[in-house]
Amino acid sequence: MLELGMIEVWRVRGMPDVSLLSQDEKAKLKAISGQDTSEAFILSRCAIRSLIAKYTRKPSEEKCIETHPEGKPFLVNHPDLHFSLSHSGKEVAIAFSRTPIGFDVEKKERRADFVSIARRFFSGAEAAQIAAAGEHAASLFVDLWTAKEAILKLEGSGISGGLERALVWSEFEGELDGRRVHLHRMEWPGFVARVASFEEPRFVRVKELVFQ
């Protein structure tokens, strides 16, 4: 059982049978272009259904996911079960908690002008920090980006809510509009991830869900 204060992050692998999707989800799948995006959609939706069944000990309903007006998805009939989904390329991961949560996963290795991007989207202090990081600029940028996106997904707005609003004070703490946010950093080969929550979690663990 997923108890209060626990956060479970599931790395999802394999390729499930599309018959697990609802009719509405199958219709959305047809509208998706790009193999990576369509595979991530199938993996994430089938995983959410499987994990709902695991946590509630009941099969998931035909329509189990709705979206708030600001864009945050939620489980229709399980108000005490919260999730946040993220994918980067073919990597799909989902965080579950009994209280609101935000989650983001990103590839570690990236090529970009991180200083210019930081100056556009981050605070002046954060951009200066990245500019001074030299060869470590990429890893620092990805760390800050995952933390900020996790914070904004906790709120429900995502990056459209304004990355400059999500402040990162340390590996363990951030802030959103004056409200303290607890952060937890994870990494596995090739990827770094963060979860954000308003309540301090007792522990966070990473697990795997593999479809055969």
Has residue 86 been placed in a domain? yes
Has residue 82 been placed in a domain? yes
Has residue 205 been placed in a domain? yes
* 118-164 confidence digits (pLDDT tens): 888 888 888 999 999 888 888 999 999 999 999 999 998 777 778 88
Q: What residues make up the domain containing 175?
A: 6-211
Has residue 175 been placed in a domain? yes
Has residue 69 been placed in a domain? yes
* The total number of structural domains that make up the chain: 1
DSSP 93-148: EEEEESS--EEEEEES---S-HHHHHHHHS-HHHHHHHHTTGGGHHHHHHHHHHHH
- Asked whether 68 and 56 are in contact (CB, 8 A), the reply is no
Has residue 1 been placed in a domain? no
Chunked into runs of 10 residues, the chain (212 residues) has average pLDDT values of 94 90 90 88 93 90 82 87 93 96 91 86 88 89 94 86 87 94 96 96 96 89
**How many CB atoms are closer than 10 A to CB 136?**
11
- Asked whether 79 and 73 are in contact (CB, 8 A), the reply is no
What is the CATH number for 136?
3.90.470.20
Has residue 23 been placed in a domain? yes
| pTM listed for this prediction | 0.91
Has residue 184 been placed in a domain? yes
